[in-house]
Structures are given as structure tokens and as C-alpha cells.
Structure 1
Amino acid sequence: MRRSLLALLLALLTGLTGLTAADAAPTSGWTARAEDHPGSVSETDVEVPMSDGTVLRADVRRPADAEGDPVEGRFPVLLTITAYNKSVISGPGAAAIDGDPDFFVKRGYVHVTVDARGTGSSGGDWQAFSARENADSGEIVNWAASPDRPWSNGAVGMHGASYMGISQLFAAGNRPPGLKAIFPQVPAVDTYRDVVASGGALDVGFIPLWMGLVTGTGLIPPAYGPAEPDNALQMYLDRVQGATSFTAPTLLEATLGLNAAFDGPFYAERSPASVLDRIDVPTFLVGGEYDLFQRGTPMVFDSLRQRGVPVKMIFGPWDHLQGSGDGVAEAGHGTLQELQLRWFDHHVRGQADPSLDTDIPPLTYHEIGSGQWFEADQWIGEQRARSFQLSGTSLPGLPGGLVDSDPQPGQSTVAPLPVSGLCTRSTNQWTAGMPNAIGIAQLCHDNRWNDLSGAVFDTEPMTEAMRMRGPINAHLHASTPTGNGMLSVSVSSVAPDGAVNRLTGGWQVLSHRALDESRSRYLDGELIQPFHPFTKDAQRTMEPSEVEPIDVEVFPTAAVIPPGHKLRISVQAFDVPHLLPTVRDLPAALSPVAIHNSPEHPSEITLPVIPATEGTR
């Protein structure tokens, strides 16, 4: 029962649900091949020694005959590295998590699941995505590909969502020769900016739950415990040490505004961005428009695509839970496991698939606002920059304007209300989709009430559809009596009846406003994705009441403002329960922020707008 409950919690927090091939069929003529073997057989807690002497543990599932005996011979290997305890994600009550590995095993693959260092049944201390753990990922691939494994033919593919997706990127960055392809679902690119401290404020909705989940699942007794009591005792001691030397200090440091609250070597080491230029294996990505890694997954795709790596991405209307499997069939290319089978059959098994690239384009994405699916070659390509200037003054219930030209001067006050964001799509997104999973997220889909807690600016109703895809920049001139605070920016579509559909959001702590232009992204010479250092050295409070420009990175989306609808930007000072200031910054955050728009201090929003040339699926 305990493992079943943990499995349910794991599914809610990390979105590791999968679909079987029976749930949907691809729109192309391709169909999943039949099973080669009637069954499977598992070996639990197999030792996987690392170069530093630490022993990790793996569960190995092999094809079996009708009598349940392992089929002789060597097979391609599919590998998953997890921090959530392999006995939980494959145990009773968790059959839906990450799909059924027998789908692949019965079709001639060996399936290997390994507990990451310091988690589950593996030895060592957990230091999430440390250099040592990232080196482990390459060594694990080498172990699975080794001729010493009598069941391996030396060709390895990797799959899995979230943590397991990030592990794939680090494994590919090690360039182990046996790794032939990966299939990361909802992975990050930059752990600090994507999720830990978006805009420089602390994620208090997901990160504490996630770190507690890894620590908690590590305390489940391993299968080898009764047979190896000394090893089991050492594992428990390692877990306690990991909690006291990594989890608790990291959370405390960040909360107090110490080193862990700032970007730097600690987060760079733990960000796949550091290895993207070393990844050269075929990569299939799944991302979500309401996912925790809404920002990062498209950036992985973009980077690999620009370098010529064979890469595809499906980007759908999903939160973290949904984007890990549930909705993938909506894209029209088949279910998650069908797609994985097709990808791995071609790139790992070596089975020719001449129609793979014609059936599945590089990018398949959903458009919020129309529900349509579109295809494209690049994430950022044919778009043009379009800017709207803030005009006039926003008062409660009376929005200011967004105009193409001739803005009216104004000054709008954003009150520091610590309930802003509490009932919005942001709440569901930054708790990994838990409200949606239990059926209450729909209560907060209309953002109109939350918008009353800040400054709001609308366009006139659109006369023709305005489509966008990619990141957005909100360039706002602001001042505050305390010299610090946070801007929480939402970009929305306002229906004729007044309903507000939040498309995406962005956040920026004022003292972290320093801009690194060399790492920022521009379109038609206009800034669409600012890059802020977020380092301790770059932090600088504003002079009280001095007006300064603040560029807010609004996370990427794919959306349309239909005819008759208005584009809206709303600005609040909090986004609860997603982000909170550090203890050090909290006093200064409890003061109003003024948004200025005038010839001396213009404020505007710049979007990557798509010309009306692309067709739907």
C-alpha cells in the first residue's frame, strides 16, 4: 500500500504517465509492428559499478518465451535513469507510470531501469545532476552496451520524462559510443531559469515537493535488503547524509537569499545547456505549453536543430503531468509508445523507415486559442517581431491600452498583494499539474479576477487573427519606493464576453534587471528573449523612486488572438503559490511598483508573430 500511494504521488508530481498503443493510431500509414515474444522476465537490483567504486542498481527486463524463460540472444537496450526509485515506478499500483516496458520487451528490446546515485537502491549520495551523477549517466550507457552483458547487442536508446529526460541529455553529452538515440519528454535546459528561480524569485510551489519526493522514495527498503543487510544499512545512512548535506542546505540557502538563491557554477553544472553542443544523437522531444519546462524544452530543440542534429519536437497544450504522455496522441503521430518504438526501431534497432521524416516534421505544435495543430521546420524562423506600446493608465476594472503607435502617457500602480496568482493557470502549471489531475484546475482557467490585482493593458479587438510562436519580451519602465520588488507578467487573450485566457507568463525581480545582450535573443533587431545573469555580483537595487527599464522574459508559447479578441498584458507583484522573494528580499517586495509609459520612459511588449502562411495538419 505504501508503494502504491508513493507511486500515485510520483505520478502527480512528475507526470510519468504513459499510453499504450491501443489508445490511438497514427494519422500516417505507419502502424506498430506485432510482438516478437510472448512474455518478459525481470532481474532485480543488478549491480552497476561506477568508476569511483560506487555501486548503482538496475532492474533488467528481458524477452521471455511462453514458459517464462529468458530468450537467448543479444538485443538492443532501452535505458531509463530515475531518481524516483525504480521499485516505485514499476511496482504495484504504478502500472501506468511511464508506460508498460513490456510493450518494448515483447518487441525485442531489453529494458533497463537504473536508480540514480543516492536514490532508490543505488549507493552514494544524491546530489541532483552533479558532475559526478552526470558522469554516471555515460558510464551506465557503457555498462548497458558492454559485450559483458550477455543480453546486449551494444546499441542503446534512452527514454523517460522530466528527471529521466534531463538524464538523457547529460548521457548524450558524454558521447558514449553505444548510445544511438534518445527520447526526452519535458526536459529542462537551464535549471535556474526554467524552474528553480524564474526571474530571480524562488519556486516554492514545486521545488520543495520535488526534493522531498526524491528523499522520501529513497527510504523505501531495497529488494536486496534482507539478503545484504550491511548494504541496506549503508543505503539508509547515505540517504540521511544526502538529506542533510544537499537537500536541506540547498533549500535553506535559497530561502535566506544566500548562494543557492543566485545563478552560478552550482546551477550551470546541473543544466543541460552546458552539454547541448556535445549532443549529436537523434533526439525526439515532447514539451508542454503549460509545463514546468515550457521555456527549456523548445530551447533544446532549437539548439540541436541549428547544429544539424536529427531532432523532432511535439509541443502540446499540456502541463507537466499531461506532457509526459497523456496527450501526445493528439498531435496525430500516434501514442507515446508508438512514437518511441518507431524512433528506436529506426535509430537503435537499425530498421529502415523511409517515411519517418515525411510523416513526422521537425516541429509539430498546438496553437492555444484555436486548438489546431501546425507543422514547422524551426522553432524561430519565419516569425516577425511585432511590438505594442503601453498607453494611458490602468485603473481597477479600467485597463490601459496596447497600441501600435501614438501611445498616451500614463503611470499605473501595481499593489503588492501576496494573493496574486493564487487562482490562475499558473497555479496548476507550477504545481506540476496536480490541480488538473484532481479535477479542480478548471475553476481557475479564467484570469479576469486575478487581473484585478494588478495593472492591465488591452489592445482593441483584433480584426484578423494574430498568431505567435516563441518567447516574448515585456520591456517595462518601473519605479518603487524601496528599490526592489517583482514584476509578474501575464499575456492573455480576452474574449468578447470578457473571459481571460492566460497564454503564458514571465517574472522579473527588479534588482536582477541587468541584461546580458550577448546571450539575449533578438528578432528583426527587437529583443524577444532577454538573458539576465542572476548572479550575486550582477544584483543591484534601484534608487528609490528612480525609473529604470526592466526586461521581463515571458516564457514561450504558441497561440492565436482570434478576430474579436483582445491581446492583454497584465502585471502583478506576486505569483503565488509559484514564486516568493527570498527572506532577504521580502521586506522590499512589500511595496507598490509603478509602471511608466511616456516618451521618456516607453513601455512595450514584443511578440514573435507568424505570417499567415503556415497550414494546419
Structure 2
Amino acid sequence: MRRSLSALLLALLTVLAGVTAADATPVSGWTARGEDYPGSVIETDVPVTMSDGTVLRADVRRPADAEGRPVEGRFPVLLTIIAYNKNVMSGPASSAVGGEPDYFVRRGYVHVSVDARGTGSSGGDWQAFSARENADSGEIVNWAASPERPWSNGAVGMHGASYMGINQLFAAGNRPPGLKAIFPQVPAMDTYRDVVASGGALDVGFIPLWMGLVTGTGLIPPAYGPGEPDNALQMYLDRVQGATSFTAPTLLEATLGLNAAFDGPFYAERSPASVVDRIDVPTFLVGGEYDLFQRGTPMVFDALRQRGVPVKMIFGPWDHLQGAGDEVPAAGYGTLQELQLRWFDHYVRGQADPALDTDIPPLTYHEIGSGQWYKADQWIGEQRARSFELSGTSLPGAPGRLVDADPQPGRTEVAPVPVSGLCTRSTNQWTAGMLNATGISRLCEDHRWNDLSGAVFETAPMTEAMRMRGPINAHLQTSTPTGNGMLSVSVSSVAPDGSVDRLTGGWQVLSHRALDPARSRYLDGELIQPFHPFTKQAQRTMRPGEVEPVDVEIFPTGAVIPPGHKLRISVQAFDVPHLLPTVRDLPAALSPVAIHTSPEHPSKITLPVVPATEGTR
């Protein structure tokens, strides 16, 4: 039974981790330095004691000579904190933490991998990104930087993807003096809005899979230090307790529409947004336009850039797995490990690199629709707001229009079709890219068939390219007979042959439509990123049959509608298997939602359009 469980979880982690990045020659001509040492040596399950007495476990890899003996001396340290069992992640799934650690160790770094509290071989209960776990992140850095470690020179860098990227932000928010730089791949900013309950509906695609993955990998033996078999039973009991005291209650509460279904202190504690104003170390971000944290990673970049923190971001056409490293060479700066080596050599090792900032601009992003890579100084800067109004009525095979002015009156009923979204890019995105990794997603690249399950509005063919970068707002005049429901909005490019390429999407539960203008984002006076409180106190059902405006936050993208293509907005009432209503909201969600278009009830979409003067990489 144990072997079967181990094999199953290892296979899942291998898929989730992606594969080792391919070679690439950086566009700058910069080349990575070679190895300084012929080998490495590892000490496993080293105890790391936290301030509350809980013992975490670390694997420490040090440079070794040709005979496999550790090289004497102090070295800079690269650190990764893992929630998926370091014993598993050091095997075939190692690319999820930035590739084979020996790459850095042979170049003069010590590499430390630590199981997060309550996972792998570490003690305690897992409470994902709780205040206690976030304090652990800073304390682990202090441990690795301490002069008591005979192999550490006191300078620490951190790297890793997803969970391992998020805890870097929390570690940096603790401001441990030894932390010199971080390299988070595909991290979140606001866990509630980014992934847990986008638009106020529950993520049932990724969150249960992720929570089960952490719990399951904690049961892979050994879950205790070497020579400590007496601890085995206690470790397993701790893992079971973690599942029953955190994982299961959280999922149940959210499903029933209780406290965990709403935003509040629980999610604020677990969101890097709560500490981003305290991060001051150089930060290199990697994000994906089809990633789980498509929304959050650019917001981290934006927040740090505005405060003057040295920060760079590569934002590519990647899902969660691809953003973990495999596709990064496409940006043109070398492999992921070469890029990390350059970053850490400069900021952690203290090696001069005068061409770093000229070779790599603050922002490098891919443009969906052209395949071009562009560079910019800011995420939102030179863009201009452009709005299109929805016009007329959408009928199957006869879309309504998107126009610059003078919309025609119309009313379109959006039926609650429980399979809407099933064969779309959304399904791949919200299963972390697993469908893409297995090749299944290619069956659902054309979204024209899914769009038949809802309302569709589109422009006339573009006479010139319209480029966009950033978040998008759909302001929709809506009514419903039940007072509640959900809007799932996709923004797409329609080719001359009729094929539909989904660029991005957004979601909004009608009862959560309350808007906080102070925390929303505007461009040229137009709303481009609404902020909804999503609290129990702000929730308010609509008056049945009454027309009310609903702003839908559409997640950011970098894309172009080429000449001859049409901009399309499609609206459905479901996005399966990504989102489902809570049990309490389900009855109301099974009624139609009407979209109204007229001068009296203007519905529109507002995009951040990029001027044609911006240059490619």
C-alpha cells in the first residue's frame, strides 16, 4: 500500500513539476560561468529548530572534491522551502524547485531544501501560509545565514515555483538580514482572488487537488529523521490531524458557503499582499498568461516596481507547469538556471554585472496573437483605455456587436449550462496545466463551440492591430429572476476562418458585485480592474428582474487582435470544472442571467491598449 501511494504521488508530482529546461543562448551574448567544483555531498534531515520548539528538517548540499568530500569553507546559500516532501522533490520532480540543485552547488553555493512545517519530514501541523508558517520562513533564512553554520558565509538567496515562490515573499516580508535576493516563479499576490474563489465562486479544479497533494506527500515514508523510528507514528498522527483540523474543515466550510467561502482575515494572513510593502530585496519574477496566478504575479511586480525595489518579471504564454521553468528560455535570456545563476551571482555572491539591467529590462512579456516578445519599464504605464459597447442581441450563430458608440438596444438570455467551460483553455489553466502536459488540451484550442453556450459580442474585423497589456473590465448591465448567479466572461480573438482563440477570462458572482473604488484600478478615468470586497457583509442579492450593473474583473494578459481578426467577448453562466457555486448559492445559480445593451443600460468592455511605439525585445 505504501509503495502504491508513493508511486502515485511521485507520478503526479513529476507531471506537476514539468521537465528540465532546454538549452538556449541568451540574446545579450552573456554566458553562464562553468563549474568550480567536481561534485556535491548531501546531509539529509538536518534539524532546524523554530522559536516555538518545532523541529523542521533540511537537506544540505555542499560543494565536494573529486573524492566526494565536502570542501572546507563558507559559501553563499540558496534556499528552498518545500511543502511537497523534499525527498520526492529531489528526484524526478526537481525541476519544480528550479532544477537540479547540483547546478548551483558545483558553482560555489550551498543548497538547502527544507520541508515546511507539518509536511515531509518536518514536525508540527500544516496550516498553509499561516502566520506561524510565514514566521518560519524568516527563521529558516536566519538559520541558514547564521555563523553557527560552518558552511555559510551569511548571504542567502531563495528560489522555487508556486508554493516555494510564495513563501519567498513571506520570508522577504520578515526582512531577515541575511536574505539578499529572491527568485519566485508563478507566485500569488491575493490568494482569495487569484485562485481560491475567483469572482466569489469556489475553485473546485485546483484547490482540492493541491490540498490533497500536500497531505498525500506527507504520508510518503520516511516522514521522520534518520535513526528516529519512534517518531514515525507521531508524524503520521500529525499528518492525519493536519488533514482533519485544516484541510477537510476548510474545504467543507467553503463548499457549504460558510466563513471560508468569504474573504477576510483568514485569507489576508495567507496573501503576500499583506507583506509586499515590506519586501525590499531584489526580486526576479516569472509569470504565465495562462497560469493559476496570472492575476497575482504582475501585481507583485507592480507593487515592488512602484516602491523602487530592484525587480524584473518575465511574463510568458505559460500555464502553471510551464511557468515552473521548462519554457523560460523562450524569453531569450538563457535557461532558468542560467538566469537564476546570473541573478544570484550578482545579488547574493556579490559579483559585479554591469550589463544586467541593460540586458534584461524590468518587464519582458509575450504577446499572444503575434508570438512577439516585448519589453517595458512598467506593467501599467503608457497604455490608454479603450472601451467597446455591447450592442444588440446575441443569438446562436449570430453574435451581437462591440461598437465604439451608439449601441443598439437588446437583451440576451444566458442559460445556465453546467458544461460551459469544460472544453476550453480554462480547464487546463485551473488544473495547473496537467491537460497540456498530457496533450489533451489540444482538443479544446478552438473555443467557438464553447461560446455557443452563452452570449457572444464581437467587433468588425480590425483594420489595424490592437495591442493590449494588463487587466480588463467588463461592465455588464444584468438582471436575473432569482437575484443571483455567475458571469463567466472570456475575451478572445476570432480569426478570419472563424476559429476562436481565448486570450483571458474573468468571473463574477452577482451577489458579490459591491465595488470598492478606492482599491480598484483606473486608466484615463476608466475602470480596468475592479476590486470587490467578497465579504459576507458586502454580499447582496439583486432584486429579481431589476437591471443592475456588474463589473467583472478579467485577468490580465498581453495580446494583440491582428488586422482581419475580431475582438470577442463571450458570457456564460458556468466555468466547469474551474468554478462552482457554494451549496447555499447553487439553487439561484441554476436560473438564466440576462445581459442588457442600450444607451440607458450601457454594457461595455474596457481594455488597456498599448501604443504601437513600444519596442520588441
- Give the TM-score taking structure 1 as reference length: 0.98
Structure 2 Cα separation of the partners of residues 5 and 207 of structure 1: 19
* Aligned residue runs from structure 1 range 358-373, under 5 A: 358-373=358-373
* Aligned residue runs from structure 1 range 246-325, under 5 A: 246-325=246-325
Structure 1 Cα separation of the partners of residues 248 and 56 of structure 2: 23
- Shift in CA distance, 247/441, structure 1 to aligned 2, threshold 3 Å: same
How big is the shift at 1:17?
4.3
Q: Is 1:379–2:379 an aligned residue pair?
A: yes
Structure 1 Cα separation of the partners of residues 176 and 18 of structure 2: 26
Identity between Structure 1 and Structure 2 (%): 87
- Secondary structure of 1:134's partner? helix
Structure 2 Cα separation of the partners of residues 442 and 346 of structure 1: 41
Structure 2 Cα separation of the partners of residues 249 and 375 of structure 1: 45
How big is the shift at 1:229?
2.0
Aligned partner (choices 18, 21, 37) of residue 19 of structure 1: 21
Q: Is 1:327–2:327 an aligned residue pair?
A: yes
Partner of 1:152: 152
Partner of 1:433: 433
Partner of 1:482: 482
Structure 2 Cα separation of the partners of residues 73 and 360 of structure 1: 33
How big is the shift at 1:7?
2.8
Q: Is the 8 A contact 1:18 1:324 kept in 2?
A: no
Structure 2 Cα separation of the partners of residues 12 and 270 of structure 1: 26
Q: Is the 8 A contact 2:159 2:184 kept in 1?
A: yes
Partner of 1:356: 356
Q: Which amino acid aligns with 2:535?
A: T
Partner of 2:417: 417
* Aligned residue runs from structure 1 range 123-272, under 5 A: 123-222=123-222, 224=224, 227-272=227-272
1:222-253 superposed Cα distances (whole Å, 9 cap, x missing partner): 26456212222221111011000000000000
How big is the shift at 1:545?
0.6
Q: Is the 8 A contact 1:4 1:94 kept in 2?
A: no
Q: Is the 8 A contact 1:156 1:178 kept in 2?
A: yes
Structure 1 Cα separation of the partners of residues 363 and 525 of structure 2: 25
Q: Is 1:94–2:93 an aligned residue pair?
A: yes
- Give the TM-score taking structure 2 as reference length: 0.98
- Shift in CA distance, 248/313, structure 1 to aligned 2, threshold 3 Å: same
1:308-346 superposed Cα distances (whole Å, 9 cap, x missing partner): 000000000000000110110000011100000000000
1:453-505 superposed Cα distances (whole Å, 9 cap, x missing partner): 00000000000000000000000000000000000000000000000000000
- Shift in CA distance, 18/309, structure 1 to aligned 2, threshold 3 Å: farther
Q: Is 1:8–2:21 an aligned residue pair?
A: no
Structure 2 Cα separation of the partners of residues 97 and 554 of structure 1: 28
Q: Is the 8 A contact 1:181 1:281 kept in 2?
A: yes
Structure 2 Cα separation of the partners of residues 546 and 167 of structure 1: 45
Structure 1 Cα separation of the partners of residues 224 and 67 of structure 2: 26
**Unaligned stretches of 5+ residues in structure 1:** none
Partner of 2:52: 52
Structure 1 Cα separation of the partners of residues 374 and 461 of structure 2: 24
- Shift in CA distance, 260/542, structure 1 to aligned 2, threshold 3 Å: same
Q: Is the 8 A contact 2:19 2:326 kept in 1?
A: yes
Structure 1 Cα separation of the partners of residues 614 and 538 of structure 2: 41
Structure 2 Cα separation of the partners of residues 503 and 408 of structure 1: 26
Structure 1 Cα separation of the partners of residues 226 and 291 of structure 2: 40
Structure 1 Cα separation of the partners of residues 27 and 232 of structure 2: 50
- Shift in CA distance, 30/261, structure 1 to aligned 2, threshold 3 Å: same
How big is the shift at 1:18?
4.0
How big is the shift at 1:5?
4.1
Structure 2 Cα separation of the partners of residues 108 and 540 of structure 1: 58
Q: Is the 8 A contact 2:223 2:236 kept in 1?
A: no
Partner of 1:585: 585
Q: Is the 8 A contact 2:365 2:374 kept in 1?
A: yes
Partner of 1:611: 611
Q: Is the 8 A contact 2:96 2:161 kept in 1?
A: no
Q: Is the 8 A contact 1:44 1:223 kept in 2?
A: no
Partner of 1:468: 468
- Shift in CA distance, 529/35, structure 1 to aligned 2, threshold 3 Å: same
Structure 1 Cα separation of the partners of residues 156 and 24 of structure 2: 27
Structure 1 Cα separation of the partners of residues 55 and 199 of structure 2: 39
- Secondary structure of 1:388's partner? strand
Structure 2 Cα separation of the partners of residues 96 and 202 of structure 1: 30
Structure 2 Cα separation of the partners of residues 323 and 515 of structure 1: 32
Q: Is the 8 A contact 2:156 2:180 kept in 1?
A: yes
Q: Which amino acid aligns with 2:174?
A: N
Cα RMSD, aligned residues only: 1.0
Q: Is the 8 A contact 1:458 1:568 kept in 2?
A: yes
1:591-611 superposed Cα distances (whole Å, 9 cap, x missing partner): 000000112211000000001
Q: Is the 8 A contact 2:223 2:235 kept in 1?
A: no
1:97-146 superposed Cα distances (whole Å, 9 cap, x missing partner): 43110000000000000000000000000000000000000000000000
Q: Which amino acid aligns with 1:468?
A: M
Q: Is the 8 A contact 1:12 1:432 kept in 2?
A: no
- Shift in CA distance, 197/546, structure 1 to aligned 2, threshold 3 Å: same
Q: Which amino acid aligns with 1:80?
A: T
Structure 1 Cα separation of the partners of residues 295 and 8 of structure 2: 31
Q: Which amino acid aligns with 1:387?
A: S
- Secondary structure of 1:556's partner? strand
Structure 1 Cα separation of the partners of residues 273 and 308 of structure 2: 17
Structure 2 Cα separation of the partners of residues 484 and 466 of structure 1: 35
- Shift in CA distance, 174/16, structure 1 to aligned 2, threshold 3 Å: farther
Structure 2 Cα separation of the partners of residues 226 and 334 of structure 1: 39
Partner of 1:79: 79
Q: Is the 8 A contact 1:27 1:333 kept in 2?
A: yes
Q: Is the 8 A contact 2:57 2:225 kept in 1?
A: no
